[in-house]
Chains A and B, each alone.
Chain A
Amino acid sequence: MASDGGVSCLRSSEMPNVGIGGMELPPLDEVHVLAVDDSLVDRIVIERLLRITSCKVTAVDSGWRALELLGLDNEKASVELQRLKVDMIITDYCMPGMTGYELLKKIKESSSFRQVPVVIMSSENVLTRIDRCLEEGAEDFLLKPVKLADVKRLRNCLTGDVKLSNGNKRKLPEDSVTVNASLPPPPALTTLSTDSSDSSSPPLSPVEVFSSPLSSREDDDDVLTSSPEGSPTPEESPVRRQKMGSPGLD
């Protein structure tokens, strides 16, 4: 597992230093993700998923709080220093008050944050919903429950586009697929694991799952999460995979 380089936690609304001149680039460990979810359990889990993949995390419980942190909560021009600097925003879709979709729209309408990749999470595999989010500019759509493999994949894409100070190759946005050989090509969005051993194995029975070192996703009985494509490989969602655009670091 990558070591956790972040110090932010659920309880601190930390404001990392804004690179005033825009010339400083974050070191590898300092990708900062803003996570938005009204569910406490899910917030804890997503925060942990992100932190264990070397992200700094600020987790909030509503779209309004997210906009507040981003300095987008009013019409006044936001002061540079008060804005939270984020490299990615990941938000739940179904939230009371402001949905993830509405938050997505507000972010994409803002000049300061429209470049920031926004990922939507939802427990419901509704194609029209997925399409709507992607059309509105979401970078990706994750089906809940979110798994470590999903977050690793996002993280790898983010790293691939970010210029890093320790010699990693810079990738063009079109080359956002990582070097991990286990990734099947787009367009279908699949549950991808950077561990090659379980990326293409068929679903295992609980007992087999239990006795193998790595888990394989079992198809849920929940009708809401069944994959329409019916492929043997368990999938998160059958959505066209959008390329990760360059995250807004400036």
Chain B
Amino acid sequence: MELGQMQKSLQDYTKSLFVEGILDSQFLQLPQLQDESNSDFVSQVVSLFFQDSDRILNDLSLSLDQKVVDFEKVDPYVHQLKGSSSSIGAQRVKNACVVFRSFCEQKNVEACHRCLQQVKQEYYLVKNRLETLFKLEQQIVASGGMISAMDLGF
């Protein structure tokens, strides 16, 4: 595939993430924080988000699997995940966390289990999409192209 086509693909792909609400405008803040001294900032912070979220989801699963669920433990995890997903613009994950927290408040174990599944689903979706996005970028760079934030509409 020639460079121009790849760049068009990247642009379309990125656009689709916004159209589907997987990402929100906060994600557009991230490239603004990238410069020559921190040329990988976006992928770094996103990787960190993945690591952090993997850990939180694991802890959440464990907490909800207890015989007696301690919501004093569960809620802070959801709060953390809501915060970090919000900070990188992972809108659907954030929204799923909002719903989750309301069920934590009600101490509704069954609903919380469903919420956890929903959060996981949204998380794996955004993770998958962002990993694809970064791969597309890498392909462009490897082919000698440049990723310009302006090209992507940032």
Contacts and interface: CB of A to CB of B under 8 A. Distances in A.
Interface of A: 1, 4, 39-42, 44-45, 48-49, 52, 94, 96, 123, 144-148, 206-207, 209-213, 215-218, 220-224
A48 B38 contact: yes
B145 interface: no
Contacts of A210: 14-15, 18, 152-153
Interface residues of B, number: 41
Contacts of B19: 206-207
Nearest to B98: A222
Interface stretch (B82-90, B104-112, B123-131): B82-90
DSSP majority for the A interface? Answer: loop
A41 B52 contact: yes
B98 A223 contact: yes
A44 B48 contact: yes
Counting from the closest, the 3 A-B pairs by CB-CB distance are A206-B18, A41-B84, A215-B28
A217 to B, nearest CB: 6
Given A1-B35, A42-B87, A44-B45, A209 B28 contact: yes
B5 interface: no
A4 B29 CA distance: 17
A217 B25 contact: yes
B25 A40 contact: no
B37 interface: yes
B134 interface: no
18 contacts: A4-B35, A40-B52, A41-B88, A44-B45, A44-B48, A45-B33, A45-B45, A45-B87, A48-B38, A147-B26, A147-B29, A148-B29, A206-B19, A206-B23, A210-B153, A212-B153, A215-B25, A215-B29
Interface in B119-154: 150, 152-154
Contacts of B44: 44
A215 to B, nearest CB: 4
Contacts of A221: 91, 95
Given A206-B23, A210-B152, 6 more contacts: A41-B49, A144-B86, A147-B29, A210-B14, A215-B28, A224-B98
Interface string B16-45: 001101011110111011010110010011
A226 to B, nearest CB: 11
Given A1-B35, A148-B33, A221-B95, A213 B154 contact: yes
Nearest to A207: B19
Nearest to B24: A218
B14 to A, nearest CB: 7
A155 to B, nearest CB: 14
Nearest to B30: A45
Contact of B84 (A39, A146, A207, A224): A39
Contact of A216 (B23, B25, B88, B150): B25
B51 to A, nearest CB: 9
A211 B35 contact: no
Given A39-B83, A223-B98, A209 B33 contact: no
B79 interface: yes
A146 B62 CA distance: 31
A40 B18 CA distance: 25
